[in-house]
């Protein structure tokens, strides 16, 4: 360091005598310049080269690698190069480099072709599908065992999950449902006023919220809030070998971690949906009385005749299925985590995206089926 | 970096680290109380002491990862607390740290991990970086096939070595090792000691290591500081410390394991002169 502070520069020049002259500090700091200089150097033609290294003032392993590389490059061209005048401690470094050099793998990693990439992608997807199927099977077996011996249910884990994923989600779910009710009512108000059919705001808000929007909003919220947490929790347990500890202690990760969460969400989602229905409709009601002069009493009376019970039941009925999707996807992604920190992040994201995707696909299927049956 | 002046006269006592009157408290718990010590250029300095006596905390304070409750630590004559956000960069380049668990970046392969400092702090060509990285990987005794593996595909000992390779890739003047031999088998631990000696001889390193390993302490340390009860119980060579009258130091060095390590050392089963490259 001391030398470099004086503004000295490392250099490799070819003298009049066709000898190579190495000068200055051959340290990492000065290597980039040196490397550029050497790259454009035109070597003398003679087969016997003398490398005078006596004026190298400092050297680290980087510098030694540089010198060694240069000498080896010249030797590969069939020339004889002798290095002279190198200080003892630098010579030691150079010896260390040459001693380790043959253990260095020179060939860089082979690039895989397009077909190989395609093959890897397909086989990876196939493997994942098989694993996912296996996980569904495993959890079904787990549920079956629980049904045969209900005493195996982990009440503590279940109750804790109810609190964390259900009770603690009440404020945010309520607020969102309320706002969605307000938005739908507002947007409807514009159109309905044009036709003077103000009272139909009840149908609009009631049916859309109860049947579709509340369950979906709750499912999406819980997927983001709890599904991701499941993946991260289980994944971190895997990384820290806690899952292995669970297994060696003779406990089943399925019974301990997955099923309580599945059951908890199956209870939570319908309840949250009812709660979201209430607050959403309330939001719609406020806007209806404010913008469309539909009073609360009128609203409620119209609600009774316009919104059939089946809309409510269909909405509630979908919620447990959404719950199963969210909990299983979250836990499954957690178990898929193999490596370290960024694997946790990736699988957590995947769990949210996949569960929301599957929830919406399932919802669309329900809509199609129910319209076939004229419900 | 190799400093030729120091290689000519390694005995010049230049302090590289100064810890003065450091006290550390975590809430009620007192970790250090008025700890002062100086580490000189070119020595292998070990910080020893029982579990939880604040060895690693002291190291973290020296490299500026943690702030002492009072007192100050100076690294290369600069207050360690000024080493923030990679500034000043010259000082960050001058030391390497090997963490206890390796702390390799899990999203990068071994070779990429080792290359990080070179890529970030120098403008070397990719070929040059590849060669330096491959050399360091070979130097710490890792097979070249492991270069393309990810940290979670490596064993604990290999991860430790990879972490060492990353710590020395910039040829730092100062190397911090946090429990380098903990959890290694005796052969590997001895190999690690040898490696540290080699690096010290080749690169003129100053090494600060936190360790419990009595064999390592006897074999490679020039001076040892024993921490206990939040204080420095003693500083000196192992010979000096083994003659100490402090009850804690005696307990530490003269337990059954301590005696075994000492007798082995005296029988001369370890001979630094036999170290070959």
Residues with Cβ within 8 Å of residue B275, at least 6 apart in sequence = B194, B197, B198, B201
Could you give phi then psi for residue A241, rounded to 5 degrees?
Answer: 65, 15
At A368 the pLDDT is 93
**pLDDT digits (tens), chain B, 277 positions:** 444 444 444 455 778 888 888 888 887 788 888 888 888 888 888 888 777 778 888 888 888 888 888 888 888 877 777 776 656 667 777 888 888 877 888 888 888 888 888 888 778 888 888 888 888 888 888 888 888 888 888 887 888 888 888 888 888 888 888 888 877 778 878 888 888 888 888 778 888 888 888 888 888 888 888 888 878 888 888 778 777 777 777 777 777 677 677 776 666 554 444 444 4
The crossing angle, in degrees rounded to 10, of helices A61-76 and A88-101 is 60
In the three-class reduction of DSSP (H, G, I as helix; E, B as strand; rest coil), residue A49 is classed as: strand
Beta-carbon-side half-sphere exposure of residue B10 (alpha carbons within 13 Å):
15
Distance CA(B250)–CA(B252), nearest Å, equals 5
Instruction: Provide, as residue numbers in chain B, all residues whose Cβ is less than 8 Å from the Cβ of A105.
Output: 134, 144-145, 147
Do the chains contact at A340 and B106, CB–CB below 8 Å? yes
**CA-CA distance, B58 to B31, in Å (whole number)?**
9
* Contact yes or no for B135 and A93 at CB 8 A: no
Q: Does A120 touch chain B (CB under 8 A)?
A: no
Query: Would you give per-residue pLDDT tens digits along chain A (375 residues)?
Result: 444 445 677 777 777 777 788 888 888 888 888 888 887 777 777 777 788 877 888 888 888 888 888 888 888 887 888 888 778 878 888 888 887 777 665 555 566 788 888 988 999 899 989 999 999 998 999 889 888 888 878 888 899 999 999 999 999 999 999 999 999 999 988 888 888 888 899 999 999 999 999 999 999 999 999 999 999 999 988 888 888 888 888 788 888 889 999 999 999 999 999 999 999 999 999 999 988 888 999 999 999 988 889 999 999 999 999 999 999 999 999 998 887 777 888 999 999 999 999 999 999 999 999 999 877
| Spatial contact of B53 and B101, defined as CB atoms under 8 Å apart | no
Q: CA of A341 to nearest chain B CA: how many angstroms apart?
A: 7
Q: CB distance A96–B139 less than 8 Å?
A: yes
Measure the CA–CA gap between B105 and A367, rounded to whole angstroms: 47
How far apart CA B254 and CA B247 sit, in angstroms, is 10
Q: B86-145 pLDDT, tens per residue?
A: 566 677 778 888 888 778 888 888 888 888 888 887 788 888 888 888 888 888 888 888
| pLDDT at A321 (0 to 100) | 95
A-facing residues of B in 58-117 (CB < 8 A) are 94, 106-107
- Which structure tokens are listed for B206? 């100053």
B-contacting residues of A 298-327, CB under 8 Å?
A: none
| Confidence (pLDDT) at A328 | 94
Asked whether A282 and A181 are in contact (CB, 8 A), the reply is yes
User: CB-based contact (8 Å) between A73 and chain B?
Assistant: no
- Which A residues in the span 19-38 are in contact with B, Cβ-Cβ below 8 Å? 27-29, 31-32, 35
Q: How many beta-carbon pairs under 8 angstroms link A with B?
A: 109
Do the chains contact at B173 and A1, CB–CB below 8 Å?
yes
Domain ranges of chain A: 2-103, 111-151, 153-372
With beta carbons less than 8 A apart as the criterion, state whether B225 and B48 touch: yes
Nearest to B135 among A95, A97, A339 (CB): A97
Contact of B134 with chain A, judged by CB distance below 8 Å, is answered with yes
Which tokens sit at A56? 């190298």
Alpha helices, H only, chain A: 31-39, 61-76, 88-101, 114-148, 155-161, 170-195, 201-207, 214-222, 228-239, 242-248, 253, 259-291, 296-306, 309-336, 341-372
**Architecture of the domain defined by A2-103:** 2-Layer Sandwich (3.30)
B44-49/B223-228 β-pairing: parallel
Query: Would strands B174-178 and B206-210 be described as parallel, antiparallel, or unpaired?
Result: parallel
Scanning B177-206 for CB atoms below 8 A from A yields 201-204
């Amino acid at each position: 360091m001391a030398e470099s502070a004086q503004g000295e520069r490392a250099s490799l020049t070819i003298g009049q005598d066709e000898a190579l002259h190495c000068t200055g500090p051959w340290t990492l700091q000065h290597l980039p310049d040196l490397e550029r200089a050497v790259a454009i150097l035109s070597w003398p033609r003679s087969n016997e080269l003398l490398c005078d290294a006596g004026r190298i003032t400092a050297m680290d392993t980087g510098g030694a690698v540089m010198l060694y590389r240069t000498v080896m490059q010249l030797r590969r061209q069939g020339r004889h190069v002798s290095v002279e005048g190198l200080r003892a401690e630098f010579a030691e470094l150079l010896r260390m480099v040459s001693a380790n050099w043959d253990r260095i793998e020179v060939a860089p990693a082979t690039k895989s072709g397009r077909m190989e990439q395609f093959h890897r992608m397909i086989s990876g997807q196939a493997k994942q599908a098989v694993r996912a199927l296996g996980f569904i099977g495993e959890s079904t077996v787990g549920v079956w065992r629980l049904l045969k011996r209900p005493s195996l249910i982990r009440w503590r884990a279940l109750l804790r999950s109810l609190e964390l994923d259900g009770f603690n989600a009440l404020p945010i779910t309520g607020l969102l449902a309320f706002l969605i009710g307000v938005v739908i009512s507002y947007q409807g108000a514009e159109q309905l006023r044009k036709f003077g059919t103000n009272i139909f705001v009840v149908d609009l808000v009631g049916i859309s919220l109860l049947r579709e929007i509340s369950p979906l909003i709750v499912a999406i919220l819980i997927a983001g809030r709890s599904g991701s947490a499941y993946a991260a929790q289980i994944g971190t347990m895997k990384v820290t070998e806690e899952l292995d500890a669970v297994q060696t202690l003779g406990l089943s990760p399925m019974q301990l971690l997955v099923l309580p969460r599945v059951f908890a969400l199956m209870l939570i989602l319908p309840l949250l949906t009812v709660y979201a229905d209430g607050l959403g409709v309330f939001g719609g009601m406020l806007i209806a009385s404010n913008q469309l002069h539909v009073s609360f009493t009128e609203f409620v009376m119209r609600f009774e005749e316009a919104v059939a019970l089946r809309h409510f039941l269909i909405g509630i009925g979908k919620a447990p299925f959404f719950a199963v999707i969210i909990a299983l996807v979250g836990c499954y992604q957690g178990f898929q985590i193999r490596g370290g920190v960024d694997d946790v992040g990736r699988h957590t994201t995947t769990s949210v995206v996949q569960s929301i995707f599957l929830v919406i696909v399932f919802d669309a299927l329900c809509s199609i089926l129910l319209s076939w049956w004229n419900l | 970096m190799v400093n030729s002046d120091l290689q000519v006269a390694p005995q010049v006592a230049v302090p590289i680290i100064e810890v003065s009157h450091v006290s550390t408290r975590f809430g009620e718990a007192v970790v250090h109380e008025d700890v002062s010590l100086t580490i000189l250029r070119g020595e292998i300095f070990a910080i020893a002491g029982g579990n939880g006596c604040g060895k690693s905390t002291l190291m973290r304070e020296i490299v500026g990862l943690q702030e002492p409750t009072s007192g100050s630590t100076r690294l290369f004559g600069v207050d360690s607390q000024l080493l923030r956000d990679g500034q000043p960069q010259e000082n960050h380049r001058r030391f390497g740290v090997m963490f206890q668990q390796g702390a390799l970046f899990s999203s990068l392969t071994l070779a990429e991990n080792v290359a990080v400092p070179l890529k970030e702090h120098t403008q070397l060509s990719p070929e040059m970086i590849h060669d330096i990285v491959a050399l360091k990987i070979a130097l710490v005794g890792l097979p070249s096939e492991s270069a393309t593996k990810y940290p979670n595909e490596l064993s604990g000992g290999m991860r430790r070595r990879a972490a060492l390779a990353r710590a020395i890739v910039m040829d730092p003047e100062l190397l911090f090792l946090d429990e380098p031999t903990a959890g290694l088998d005796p052969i590997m631990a001895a190999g690690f000691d040898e490696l540290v000696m080699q690096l010290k001889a080749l690169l003129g390193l100053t090494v600060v290591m936190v360790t419990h390993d009595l064999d390592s302490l006897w074999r490679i340390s020039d001076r040892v500081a024993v921490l206990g009860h939040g204080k420095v119980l003693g500083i000196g060579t192992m010979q000096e410390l083994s003659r100490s009258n402090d009850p804690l130091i005696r307990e530490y060095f003269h337990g059954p394991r301590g005696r075994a390590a000492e007798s082995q050392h005296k029988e001369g089963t370890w001979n630094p002169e036999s170290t070959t490259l």
